[in-house]
Structure 1
Amino acid sequence: MSTKESNELTQDTVYDLLSNKRRRFVISKLRRAEGPVSVNDLSESVAAWENGVEVDELTDKQIKRVYVSLYQIHIPKLDEAGLVDYDKDSGQVRLRSTVSELDSYLPEQADDTPNGIPWEAIYAGIAAVALGMYAGVFLFPDAFAWLSVTALNVTLFATLVVVAGAHYLTEQWQ
């Protein structure tokens, strides 16, 4: 009996389905789509993603290589598992509601920053301000006479401890 007929995905089946980056990308792409997507469009999107280029920069060989694997392996496997409906005649693929069974196994789909806080930007900002302050202290000692290196070190360390603590707590509350 196929997984599609039993309407139940086992943990082993889920891990098998998600073990391939192309299948994960297809699921993600279909989640963002407003309706069915053609295998051709999926092939172009996957090829562009894998090659790190825009779709219009792809070669026919790059697209064909992905198309063959999606057509012969990945989409049929997702269809067999009951996660997508695949119409071979029209070449259209759409997600089924059963894809929600994967939610606990996948990272948040909508946003790379689930809590809305761009932590890497915060850390980069702290580093940029600290670098500027250190440069000022060492390159323009008269202008920054009011700021000692020790005070700068303590302030930077305290700021990083507070931000890292907030980051940790925010991640724990999700």
Structure 2
Amino acid sequence: MSTGTLDRPETAPDPPEEFTQEVVFEMLSNRRRRYVVYYLLDADGEAELRDLSRTIAAWENDKRPDEVTSTERKRVYNALQQAHLPKMDDAGLVEFDSSRSTVTATDGLSDLRVYLEVVPGDEISWSQYYLLLGLLFVSVTLSATVGVSPFADVPGVTLSAAMALVLAVSGVAHVYHGRQSRLGADERPPSVGE
């Protein structure tokens, strides 16, 4: 073992292609780490630790960032600097530069977005929903093509417009439902700019 200082390599190793379920659960098991993920996803993937800690302290104390006390900010700052950000850096989610007090999201961080969405056990997933919707559209189109009533009596443009409307309404519902069913949705902080 060398007694000299350990030099960090010029370039950090590439984050893993896929995170194991254990790593994902470990990273998302803590509310402050989830807040870091939310913040970086909303802030184009870069943050200064001072701004990040002030915003997270505001979310935790249900305040605006300019109302956060120095004690509240320092408590979050220290926890992020000493524990959470190094752990996230080791997992390959962020690049934490403690000397510059900056945090940068890796490509792997955006992969966590899918884990923040939850599908309750009694519901079908959106991918299943869209598959069924596609099968319905194909069967309606085939029925109209071969002359099955009542689809044969409806003009093709009207059928196409109806299918497009159903798809658009489904997309709006998907976006709304996705925002409501994220892991920790009851604790989801406001957008960074708010």
Alpha-carbon offset, residue 34 of structure 1: 3.0
1:78 to 88, 99, 113: 88
Confirm whether residue 90 of structure 1 aligns to residue 111 of structure 2. Answer: no
Judged with a 3 Å threshold, the aligned counterparts in structure 2 of structure 1 residues 35 and 11 are, in CA distance, closer, same or farther, namely: closer
Letter of the structure 1 residue corresponding to residue 26 of structure 2 = D
Confirm whether residue 107 of structure 1 aligns to residue 107 of structure 2. Answer: no
Q: Identical aligned pairs, as a percentage?
A: 40
Letter of the structure 1 residue corresponding to residue 19 of structure 2 = L
Q: Distance in 1 between matches of 2:98 and 2:20?
A: 26
Name stretches of at least 5 consecutive residues in structure 2 with no aligned partner: 1-12, 119-125, 127-168, 179-194
Deviations 1:60-109 (A, max 9, x none): 1111111111001111111111011111121110111011332321139x
Letter of the structure 1 residue corresponding to residue 62 of structure 2 = G
Deviations 1:21-46 (A, max 9, x none): 11111111111113521111110000
Deviations 1:122-165 (A, max 9, x none): xxxxxxxxxxxxxxxxxxxxxxxxxxxxxxxxxxxxxxxxxxxx
Instruction: Tell me the equivalent position of 2:48.
Output: 38
1:35-74 aligned at under 5 Å gives the runs 35-74=45-84
Question: What number of residue pairs does the alignment pair up?
Answer: 112
Normalised to the residue count of structure 2, the TM-score between the two structures is: 0.51
Q: Distance in 2 between matches of 1:97 and 1:56?
A: 31
Q: Distance in 2 between matches of 1:34 and 1:17?
A: 20
Normalised to the residue count of structure 1, the TM-score between the two structures is: 0.57
After superposition, the CA RMSD in angstroms is 2.8
Q: Distance in 2 between matches of 1:44 and 1:59?
A: 9
Whether contact under 8 Å (2:15, 2:107) holds in the other structure is no
Return structure 1 stretches of 4+ with deviation > 6 angstroms.
Answer: none
Instruction: Tell me the equivalent position of 1:124.
Output: none
Judged with a 3 Å threshold, the aligned counterparts in structure 2 of structure 1 residues 104 and 35 are, in CA distance, closer, same or farther, namely: closer
Q: Distance in 2 between matches of 1:25 and 1:81?
A: 16
Q: Distance in 2 between matches of 1:36 and 1:77?
A: 17
Name stretches of at least 5 consecutive residues in structure 1 with no aligned partner: 109-114, 116-165
